[in-house]
Amino acid sequence: MERSGRTVLTVVGNRPQFIKAAAVSAHLRERAEEVLVHTGQHYDPELSDVFFEQLEMPAPDRELGIGSGSHSEQTAAILTRLEPLVAEIEPGALLVYGDTNSTLGGALVAAKAPVPLIHVEAGMRSGNRAMPEELNRMVVDSLAGLLLCSTETALRNLRDEGRDEQAVVTGDVMADIALTFGPIADQRSDVLERLDLEPRGFSVATAHRPGNVDDPERLRLLVDVLSRAAQAAPVVFPVHPRTRSRLDEMRALDGLPERGITAVEPLGYLDMTRLVRAARGVITDSGGLQKEAFLASVPCLTMREETEWVETVEAGWNKLIGLRPEAVEPALAELPAPGATSPAAELYGEGRAGERVAAAVAEWL
Ligand code: UD1
């Protein structure tokens, strides 16, 4: 590997980061060298390899193999394994996406090396410091030299913290992939046929936030929320491994079908995208999925009290219902009717964010 000030070392590790890198890598490689490092935070084929294959991404150049563990264990493993790699490659910059432990680990190694740090999806804030992701975002933004924002709201957040001097609004890189791969997913995925679903005849649900699924009482409420939603339309529920093991511990998996909820394994990008685009609604605690539903003009109920993606709520396509089953019906009644078109593409960069990220990085190097 040629050592060069124009080499960007990109760190990814989780499902949403593979999608984000898919939007940026090709553009970045037209303007700079990229070394793609996979931390291994997500390692199951359906949470990792399938994204690389389906989104036609270059394979990672290096893998750290950190696997699962507590936040400290994951972060420490990244620091220990990434530091020598950074010393070997001597990149001109290190680039991280989003707000996970892989983002934090990458950012800390860059800051200590020191290597200039680029943060894609900078400036997102929920205001809820109990979320591990909120702490990760704040730390990473405070270390980054180039802050690339998905939205004007993110830029305003950085301005409020006095961090907007090195900030640029690029649009949202996940939106690029949703817009490009949406029609491809409709053609290539047979998930509706496999699960015997009619377009608009079902809702799709996901849940993986520790604050929602780790505590049995809260997880019970979450299942009640999904049951209420299932009274309007059957719910298809691709279950994250964290959530599956908690439901298993509570012996709650077997009871789901009689509540109108069909639990399935986590889905690859194309299946999930087709499912969302054909759904009547989405119920989730994921940030990415709130946005993907909005981009597909599918209404969303979010099982959280706040969101970083405030545009989805302001435009009327997303309702924050927390874990309140009684909030489901009134929220459903207020959401846009089927057939309406959301303003998401315009708000999130028209599918050109990857290009803008690469341009901003190349100019900054
Ligand atoms: C992580 C991110 C979260 C992101 C999510 C995307 C942090 C703090 N959280 O949460 O922001 O929204 O990824 O999905 O970084 N597991 C497997 N197979 C895997 C990976 C994990 O079975 O390939 C199981 C393990 O039991 C593990 C648990 O899932 O302990 C949680 O995984 P982890 O990566 O720690 O966090 P996520 O909940 O996925």
Predicted confidence at residue 323, as pLDDT, reads 98
Predicted confidence at residue 242, as pLDDT, reads 95
The pLDDT of residue 178 is above 50: yes
Confidence of residue 54 (pLDDT cuts 50, 70, 90): very high
In this prediction, residues 37-47 reach a mean pLDDT of 96
Q: Which residues contact 180 (CB under 8 A, 6 or more apart)?
A: 351
365 Cα–ligand 1 center, Å? 32
For the record, the structure tokens of 332 come out as 């459903």
The pLDDT of residue 2 is above 60: no
- Of 205, 224, 222, nearest in space to 213 by CA: 222
Q: What is the pLDDT of residues 255-314, one digit of tens each?
A: 999 999 999 999 999 999 999 999 999 999 999 999 999 999 999 999 999 999 999 999
Q: How far is CA 110 from CA 78, 96, 120, in A?
A: 11, 10, 15
In this prediction, residues 218-246 reach a mean pLDDT of 97
Q: What is the pLDDT of residues 74-132, one digit of tens each?
A: 999 999 999 999 999 999 999 999 999 999 999 999 999 999 999 999 999 999 999 99
Pocket test for ligand 1, best of 11, 20, 42 (most atoms within 8 A of CB): 42
Give the total residue count for the chain: 365
Pocket test for ligand 1, best of 100, 248, 269 (most atoms within 8 A of CB): 100
Which atom from ligand 1 is nearest to the alpha carbon of 136? 8
Give me the DSSP letters along 181-245: HHHHHHHH--HHHHTT--TTS-EEEE---HHHHSSHHHHHHHHHHHHHHHHHS-EEEEPPHHHHH
How far apart (Å, rounded) are the C-alpha atoms in residues 297 and 72?
A: 38
Predicted confidence at residue 5, as pLDDT, reads 78
Predicted confidence at residue 274, as pLDDT, reads 98
pTM confidence score = 0.95
Torsion on CA atoms 231, 232, 238, 244, rounded to nearest 10:
-20
78 Cα–ligand 1 center, Å? 15
For the record, the structure tokens of 6 come out as 């124009």
Q: What is the pLDDT of residues 55-64, one digit of tens each?
A: 999 999 999 9
Which atom from ligand 1 is nearest to the alpha carbon of 67? 20
User: Residue 279 in contact with residue 200, Cβ under 8 Å?
Assistant: yes
Q: What is the pLDDT of residues 183-215, one digit of tens each?
A: 999 999 999 999 999 999 999 999 999 999 999
The pLDDT of residue 363 is above 50: yes
Q: How far is CA 275 from CA 176, 185, 189, in A?
A: 18, 9, 9
Q: How many CB atoms lie within 10 A of CB 3?
A: 11
pLDDT over 90, % of the chain = 98
How far apart (Å, rounded) are the C-alpha atoms in residues 312 and 100?
A: 22
How far apart (Å, rounded) are the C-alpha atoms in residues 159 and 349?
A: 20
Residue 27 catalytic?
A: no
Confidence of residue 152 (pLDDT cuts 50, 70, 90): very high
How far apart (Å, rounded) are the C-alpha atoms in residues 263 and 205?
A: 9
Predicted confidence at residue 1, as pLDDT, reads 37
Predicted confidence at residue 4, as pLDDT, reads 57
For the record, the structure tokens of 149 come out as 């924002």
Return the beta strands (E) in 145-202 as ranges. Answer: 146-149, 167-169
